[in-house]
Structure 1
Amino acid sequence: MTQGVLPFKYEEEKTQTGMTALAGLPVYLDLAKVIGLSKSIQKHLKVRKNSQGWTDSQMVLSLVLLNLAGGDCVDDLKILEADEGFCQILRKSETHGLSRKVRRTIESRWRKEKKRSVPSPSAVFRYLSKFHDAEQEDARKKSDVKAFIPAANDFLKGFGKINKDMIAGLNTVSVETTATLDMDATLAQTMKETASYCYKGFKAYQPFNTWWFEQGIILHTEFRDGNVPAGYEQLRVFKEALDCLPSNVEKVKLRSDTAAYQHDLLRYCEKGENKRFGRIEFAIGCNVTKAFKIAVAQVPDAQWQPIYKREKGLQLKTGSEWAEVCFVPNELCYSKDAPVYRYLAKRQRLVEQQPLPGMNDDKQLKLPFPTMEMDESRYKVFGVVTNIKYTQMNGENVIHWLHERCGKSEEVHAVMKDDLAGGKMPSSDFGTNAAWWWIMIIALNLNVMMKNLALAPSMKTKRMKAIRFSLVNIPGRVVKRSRTLFLRLSKGHPSYDLLVEARRKIAMLFGSWAPSG
């Protein structure tokens, strides 16, 4: 093709050169090896047990690496396979440290010579299909329940155990005895024919996630259809999340939006019905019902206090106010042993909106949040229910503490769908997509561990886009000399010291990381 009008030409190398565009990705292989991720996968999945070809570990790790490298569909494995330098490192990592007997066992899984370094897209599709349970789809069709959650088969349940092993190891080397759990659902839009419509009017899946605030990691996730409400069976999910916490966690706190405003969940926390953790403190958004508005309207104006924010060492008014509300919901009025909670209200004065010309009252735009009239002014109103005592935390601090979840846990949802592969489902089968979602969660948590344990403190708050630019997607050349592989970066590359220091910290984890299981 003539390219004379352009300043350069493309040519393909005549031979393999050992070049890689993913010189930083092998560091994640190092971390995965140290934390025993491959062993945990082989222990808990067993999809490929006693079969030939790719192992469970090779399948799952290939997709984890695909997420970290920026791929968002199964076909992107072709690009990973085409990176000859990275594939050399991957093949070396798979057998490094193994005895000759184990290496021969791995080699015997192949009838012919193994030529690929990562599974082909077709092999991955066949593998992911094992996580789908067709009987559950039949049960869905027969069920009269609109919000139906297919039961996970034994293979799919294995991902939760793998994630539990990872978190237990993390909390061994970076101990947190308190777990503040933020529970929230997210919508993953899709065009799959079998997907259901969500409350926003488009087809989607709606996974429900439990975020461990102190560790910055996803503790538990449940893949759901888009028509399943966020608060559906939330108490059951909360109990499952508590079972995922490491043994050295001593105290649990709960935060959530109004989807968690369910009296069975509130009672479970307040009455200390969990044998391990006892009473669990919570702050949850409550429904601004007509009865709640009546209680808010009865609060004297003198009891409304300003809400402040700290900025550059100064306390500044936000324009919002809070007050304690004397409110007992109808659900608790008929029980003698009903728990007593604190109810708080937050209000913000709204600027008067002019009506749209030429439209009657029925067609005027409605505000997407509850409002009420007080003192001849219109306010946006937000309710909070908590069991935290007055002496422990005043109302303003409870509101600030609850609003902390709105920043980080919701940012993680954007990372799942935009930075990783959670926003693009590979199949029309529910179980296949659930497995894909779980593998993305493992990649997400592996990256969190990398930032917390191996990278510089300045990298801890970086999004995956920045991590890829400065750590993962950098050029290098793989050179083999004296039976050792060397991964060379260009001279003076700013990422060289970052990678060397990360590998030093990862090497120090050997011996201190708790073995899985």
Structure 2
Amino acid sequence: MDLTAHAGLTLVAETLLAVGLESVVQEQLRLRVRQRGHPEFTKLQTCLRIVAAGGDCVEDVRILARDAGLRRLLRRPWPSPDALHAFLATCHNAAAIGQRPATGAWIPPEPPALRALAAVNTALVRRAVAGLPVTEATLDLDATTILSGKRDALPLYRGGRGYQPTAVLWAEQDLVVADQYRDGNVPAGMDPLAVAQHAFAALPPTVTTRAFRGDSACYHDDLLKHLAKRIAFTISADMSPELRHVCTARGVVWHRFEARVTELVEVAEVEFTPGRWPKTAAPLRYVALRFTPTQGSLFGEPPK
């Protein structure tokens, strides 16, 4: 009797087939120079299985391939680590990496393989909502950090070394519509416009009402100008000296928002034009928060 501790991976395989990933990959992801060996879908599916099983390197496919019970359930051969390395190497743009500047953050251009993977994701997003009355999309852009022990990994702002990818989530549908893998030293606020544009381009044509949300890393003139034309947006603003001057002006009307144990929170609406905002354009609406500490305890521990 063959037993396995990875029976859940069969559900991963069934899900990938159910969403039509195989046909999408056949249409969009054509990387093989020769027609021998495993097709792209098999190699991509294997990478996803490794991640789902908790693996952290390509060589972990050997562990899954030795699982006799899993082999009987899946009934498909496993690509070798060398085959997976060759598959992933197509996403590496060696010529572009050679142009990396000696210092500073840098985002290389995406090679054709990565653009093809993005096209696969776009097709899956549109399939997921096909036939639904989808007309609205709120996109959330954010970045995260991934620690890595690779020699090429660069320092992270939080400490350690690794990578800092960005991703855009379609909030109403809980779908990732775009992403960009970045070196660890690339700040989240570096060129958010490109990622946002890719995300909006991935939406189905039925979406007519679009909105965008982001933290202060998205407080970038180029992105603000792009959004202000036709997209509703909410972005956390950097408190620059100019914005602080507007918020502290005598005519600003503050309203109580929340009374906390240690502070009073007030809110006000102000109009402000950031950095390189066109002089002829209308100012943006800012919602400002003011925090006023309450009187502390005279004796003992402060209230909690």
Scaled to the shorter chain, the TM-score interval is: 0.7 to 0.9
1:236 aligns with 2:194: yes
Q: 1:124 to 1:324 in 2, by over 3 A?
A: same
RMSD of the alignment, in Å?
Answer: 2.7
How many Å separate the matches in 2 of 1:82 and 1:133?
A: 33
Structure 2: gaps (5+ residues): 297-304
How many Å separate the matches in 2 of 1:330 and 1:66?
A: 46
Partner residue of 1:204? 162
How many Å separate the matches in 1 of 2:172 and 2:94?
A: 39
Which of 248, 266, 273 lines up with 2:206 in the alignment? 248
Q: Assess if the C-alpha contact under 8 Å between 1:305 and 1:323 holds in 2.
A: no
Q: 1:89 to 1:319 in 2, by over 3 A?
A: farther
1:126 aligns with 2:69: no
How many Å separate the matches in 2 of 1:342 and 1:54?
A: 55
1:259 aligns with 2:217: yes
Which of 131, 135, 141 lines up with 1:183 in the alignment? 141
Partner residue of 2:249? 298
How many Å separate the matches in 1 of 2:201 and 2:116?
A: 15
Larger Rg: 1
Q: Assess if the C-alpha contact under 8 Å between 2:271 and 2:283 holds in 1.
A: no
Deviation at 1:168, TM superposition (A): 0.7
Partner residue of 2:49? 65
Partner residue of 2:30? 46
Q: 1:230 to 1:352 in 2, by over 3 A?
A: farther
Partner residue of 1:322? 267
Deviation at 1:34, TM superposition (A): 2.4
Paired positions, count? 296
How many Å separate the matches in 2 of 1:121 and 1:49?
A: 18
Q: Give the alignment of 1:56-95 within 5 angstroms.
A: 56-91=40-75
Partner residue of 1:430? none
Q: Assess if the C-alpha contact under 8 Å between 1:176 and 1:215 holds in 2.
A: no
Q: Give the alignment of 1:83-482 within 5 angstroms.
A: 83-91=67-75, 117-140=77-100, 143=101, 146-172=104-130, 175-271=133-229, 279-298=230-249, 303-307=254-258, 319-332=264-277, 335-350=278-293
Deviates more, 1:335-344 or 1:57-66: 335-344
Q: 1:268 to 1:326 in 2, by over 3 A?
A: closer
Q: Assess if the C-alpha contact under 8 Å between 1:305 and 1:322 holds in 2.
A: yes
How many Å separate the matches in 1 of 2:225 and 2:83?
A: 48
How many Å separate the matches in 1 of 2:133 and 2:33?
A: 34
Query: Tell me, what secondary structure is at the counterpart of 1:20?
Result: coil
Instruction: State the Cα deviation string for residues 344-394 of structure 1 (Å, max 9, x = none).
Output: 1113335799xxxxxxxxxxxxxxxxxxxxxxxxxxxxxxxxxxxxxxxxx
Which of 34, 45, 61 lines up with 2:18 in the alignment? 34
How many Å separate the matches in 1 of 2:165 and 2:36?
A: 33
How many Å separate the matches in 2 of 1:302 and 1:267?
A: 27
How many Å separate the matches in 2 of 1:344 and 1:83?
A: 57
Q: Assess if the C-alpha contact under 8 Å between 2:254 and 2:266 holds in 1.
A: no
Instruction: State the Cα deviation string for residues 9-66 of structure 1 (Å, max 9, x = none).
Output: xxxxxxxx23232333323322222222112222222222533122111111011122
Normalised to the residue count of structure 2, the TM-score between the two structures is 0.87
Structure 1: gaps (5+ residues): 1-16, 95-116, 272-278, 310-317, 354-517
Q: Assess if the C-alpha contact under 8 Å between 2:252 and 2:268 holds in 1.
A: no
Instruction: State the Cα deviation string for residues 304-338 of structure 1 (Å, max 9, x = none).
Output: 321499xxxxxxxx953211124344533xx4422
Query: Tell me, what secondary structure is at the counterpart of 2:98?
Result: helix
How many Å separate the matches in 2 of 1:202 and 1:22?
A: 32
Instruction: State the Cα deviation string for residues 433-485 of structure 1 (Å, max 9, x = none).
Output: xxxxxxxxxxxxxxxxxxxxxxxxxxxxxxxxxxxxxxxxxxxxxxxxxxxxx
Q: Which has the higher contact order (CA 8 A, sep 6+)?
A: 1
How many Å separate the matches in 1 of 2:79 and 2:293?
A: 57
Query: Tell me, what secondary structure is at the counterpart of 2:236?
Result: strand
Query: Tell me, what secondary structure is at the counterpart of 1:346?
Result: strand
